[in-house]
Structure 1
């Protein structure tokens, strides 16, 4: 074979390969393959990510780590207690040795006793308890306390310790640190009750609150106070009573004292033709021989359920405290409440309290009016506003969280002359509410973070995220204020934390996709995408085969 013939044969092979490449059928196949590649690229590279992004749930990044660390937050309550004595050495010993030694085991309180010298001239003009209460030495800052030695305290009280209306506890010169510790612990600090409250909120199945905690209404932003007068037979007995004026004179001053703690809205109503739905028993009083009607203490809870339906106490979203005055008709009076032992309730006041709900007072009409047949019906009766409102105020104190104080031997309290609160009682209530709101906010945030972490398709919008961040910051600031003895600042921050946590937990947007989980989302979209994806997936095999044949053809041409 000559070189010319070899060259001719090579040219023919190249021409044959070129003709094969330029074959119209191959060009059509190429167009189909490139179209399939373009379609697969658009669907897989652009379409699927775009669909995933557009169906993605908007979720603000939350401080999960900070929320988990709230369990280890230090909530020790610091208090500065001044101790004023005439003998400086005795004051130093009481403050730095005796009292510090007694309170050093406390895990909730960090008490700092500050000894101060007391000059006799400060007590020279004191001739009564009122002079002590009006002294310029009284602490004005919430959370602070003064222990003041008063020589000759026996002039004012038979005991060694006298708790004032303000933030001062007076003690005699021979009072021991043990007696001061006893009064502080049982009347002002209530450490055991506070720890029980926190433990019951944190582990409700393992711990329980004390009697005061079970009775106290839970923390809220605002309360409604509903005062109701029930007159079952107005056609026979009419009540001459200015209820609005009684509320203004007795209830509102007390609530004004609590205004730094929470807001209240007072409402009143009159109900007619409403009965107690229980049948009292007719009994004879062994002391007087007179007959009257009696309600057993055991059946009193049965009164509340049917009565509550008539009270209209659910017209507001705020928690409501109900206070009911029931005036029985003359043919069912007098009506008294009896204990299981067959004796009347203490004090002769026919009233009872329902924890976290309110109280009921039975105000019997005067027997002089009822038994006077010369008075035509309807008879006019004026309820005793002083006794009724006095009972309501006592019940309100218990429901708000001001406990009944156990007696302390050789210790007494200055009696209240008005409806106001003692300042140290208000401080105790601030401490209770601060710890309650802090614990509630912490538990709410932890429950919410667990819920949002487990269910990934719940929307977390900016408002919810801001509320959660604000609640976490407020909890940390409140705990910091507590550890430095700033009670009011700690309370305000705990209130902000509580309200922010509740706002985040109850936000309606959290329920938008709660019942549309991922498996349901896939069940909706797969029937739409599957018919489109099957041809694309199958075309990938043809694309691979086409590219393989192209590469093998090029390799064969190069070898030839």
Structure 2
């Protein structure tokens, strides 16, 4: 039955009431309205698949491609062998010198004399790495080789270049004996004796044998000192075969080493004529070089090669950094102070190139002062020439001298250039490191060859050791195969050079050591490798961060969000 109209309104059913616009919404309603609709399983896996595909492309394709295209190739190097050579563990240089003795004696007396002399020589030797081996020459010798008989009686065939010195025993009847004479231009020592000085077979010593031993020890004393100094500096003073040197000798050898040029297969010699006026404007330099300098350069041809050029510079003024010459009443000459000699060369205006070609340049400057400032000398010493260490030399040719007429005209003759050429020759000898003793030039050159061979072995070994340290401490630099090839060649030639030293074949050791040093330098200064040494990791971060940052941040954040969502779902279960 329908309700009556007058029935109570409270008993009637209520309809869903809508909130009035003026009333605030409840908190639950706000939350329901802000939450997104629940995500279906299909859309969830679609989103995760998209994120996974991006990461798969990055990890499986992008990262390998980046790694392959930016990977640094490093060839394998024999690091242990390189380090062992640098530390001197592989090669202990020794210098066995062969001394050929020509004795006009019966074989039995000759062998006994050699044995007696060898014993006396061994007693005098304090440097076991450098020892002299006496051999008996068997005349007549062939033109290109000489057969030798060793002290113990065995025969040995050796090239002439392997004989360091020849001793000729010459019997005489007059004059003081025994006496000796060293040939200045031949590696030959003439020993004069009387027949009664030959020791009998039953004796254990003789004055003649002692005399020969002392002469040989004196001849090779400076060579032993140079080699001992070289070994001590290369091994840090820990070589068991090192000879003790006096402080004075060490200081002198140190001075010679700092004055001499570094060894090079080729040197470039520049002879320059400078004058502050217009005369002399020409010089007969070709004839002077041919007569005074060419023979010396030919003597050094077994060690280094030389190229020569000349130049003339007129109106060449002094360097403004030095004081002008002053007249000295006592010397009756214009003088330069010793402290101004180092600034004598006007490098700003004089055309002196520091290097021409591959080899170092050695400059020789002939300065002809104005007649109004002649003669020009060094105040402290009165000399007219001086040496500039590791650079060259300077000689002053004065147009006038006390008591003499003018010797310089518009052109310098070969005779006028003679004193200056002799001065330049002596300066070149000092710059090349040639020892001062003995008096025989071939012996001094052979000494220089042995010293250079040992120094090149030490230099190449040190370079290989430095390369091994760079290889280990800088893993980011590339090492091409050419470096490995040069290292292998250097090691092989070093071993051969060391073997040649032990065999006493010093010229061959020098050639091999020269190749080894060149290959070691070539490997160490490889262009592609040196360029990466100064490219630190901070530069790589600065390059990659602007490129990869905008791409990496969305991928990383999306992966972290999905990982967090997955962990929350696992906890809810």
After TM superposition, the score normalised by the length of structure 1 is 0.75
Give yes or no for the alignment of 1:248 onto 2:293.
no
- C-alpha spacing 1:42/1:364, structure 2 compared with 1 (3 Å): same
TM-superposed CA distance for 1:424, in Å, is 2.1
Distance change (3 Å), C-alpha of 1:60 and 1:305 = farther
Deviation at 1:426, TM superposition (A): 2.2
Matches within 5 A, 1:99-114: 99-103=121-125, 105-114=126-135
Which residue, 96, 99, 105 being the options, matches 1:78? 96
Matched, 1:393 2:425: yes
Correspondence for 2:457: 438
Aligned to 1:507: 526
For 2:365, the equivalent position in structure 1 comes to 324
Shift of 1:89: 5.0
CA contact (8 A) 2:269 2:309 kept: yes
CA shift in 2, pair 1:523/1:256, >3 Å:
same
Distance 2:76 2:482 in 1: 12
User: Which residue of structure 2 lines up, in the alignment, with residue 474 of structure 1?
Assistant: 493
Pair 1:446–1:154, CA change in 2 (3 A): farther
Map of 1:362 onto structure 2:
396
1:304 aligns with 2:345: yes
| Shift in CA distance, 381/487, structure 1 to aligned 2, threshold 3 Å | closer
Q: Deviations over 1:25-82 (max 9, x none)?
A: 3233223333333322231243223312321222221121111000212222232223
Equivalent in the alignment of 2:161: 141
Is 1:428 the counterpart of 2:443? The answer is no
1:67 aligns with 2:87: no
Could you tell me which runs of 5 or more consecutive residues in structure 1 were left unpaired when the two chains were aligned.
1-22, 120-136, 407-412, 415-421
Which of structures 1 and 2 has the bigger CA Rg? 2
Change (3 A) 1:143 1:308: farther
Determine if the alignment matches structure 1 residue 280 to structure 2 residue 325.
Answer: yes
Q: Specify which of 319, 333, 342 is matched with residue 374 of structure 2.
A: 333
Match of 1:98 among 120, 128, 134: 120
| Aligned position for 2:229 | 196
Return the alpha-carbon distance in structure 1 between the equivalents of residues 388 and 417 of structure 2: 21
Which of 506-515 and 262-271 deviates more? 506-515
Deviation, 1:221, is 3.2
- Tell me the equivalent position of 2:180: 160
TM superposition shift of 1:440? 1.4
Distance 1:400 1:154, change over 3 A: farther
Q: CA deviation at 1:156?
A: 11
Matched, 1:180 2:213: yes
Retained in 1: the 8 A contact 2:118–2:213?
no
1:226 and 2:270 matched: yes
- 2:256 aligned residue (212, 232, 236): 212
Q: Is the 8 A contact 2:268 2:360 kept in 1?
A: yes
- Asked if residue 36 in structure 1 is aligned to residue 62 in structure 2, the reply is no
Q: What is the CA distance between 1:270 and its match in structure 2?
A: 0.5
Q: How far apart in 1 are the matches of 2:505 and 2:516? A: 16
Aligned-pair CA distance for 1:503: 1.9
Q: Is the 8 A contact 1:76 1:483 kept in 2?
A: yes
Superposed CA deviations along residues 442-464 of structure 1, whole A, max 9, x for unmatched, are 22222222123212222222223
CA RMSD of aligned residues (A): 3.9
Matched, 1:517 2:536: yes
| Number of positions where the alignment pairs a residue of Structure 1 with one of Structure 2 | 485
Distance 1:437 1:477 in 2: 13
Say if 1:334 and 1:364, in contact at 8 Å, map to a contact too: yes
The range that moved more, 353-362 or 36-45, is: 36-45
Q: Give yes or no for the alignment of 1:268 onto 2:310.
A: yes
Q: Against the structure 1 CA distance between its residues 238 and 460, is the aligned structure 2 distance closer, same or farther, given a 3 Å change threshold?
A: same
SS state at 2:336 partner: strand
- Which secondary structure state, in structure 1, belongs to the residue aligned with residue 160 of structure 2? coil
Whole-angstrom distance in 2 between the partners of 1:448 and 1:196: 25
Q: Is the 8 A contact 1:82 1:145 kept in 2?
A: yes
The answer for unaligned runs of 5 or more in structure 2 is 1-37, 141-156, 194-206, 238-246
How far is 1:158 from its partner?
Answer: 9.6
Residues 272-327 of structure 1, C-alpha deviations (whole Å, 9 max, x = no match)? 111344433323457xxxx3223344432231364885323445453111111111
Q: Which has the higher contact order (CA 8 A, sep 6+)?
A: 1
> Is the 1:193–1:213 contact (alpha carbons within 8 Å) kept by the matching residues of 2?
no
> What SS does the corresponding residue of 2:84 show, helix, strand or coil?
helix
Q: Give me the TM-score of the superposition, normalised by structure 2.
A: 0.74
Aligned position for 1:405: 437
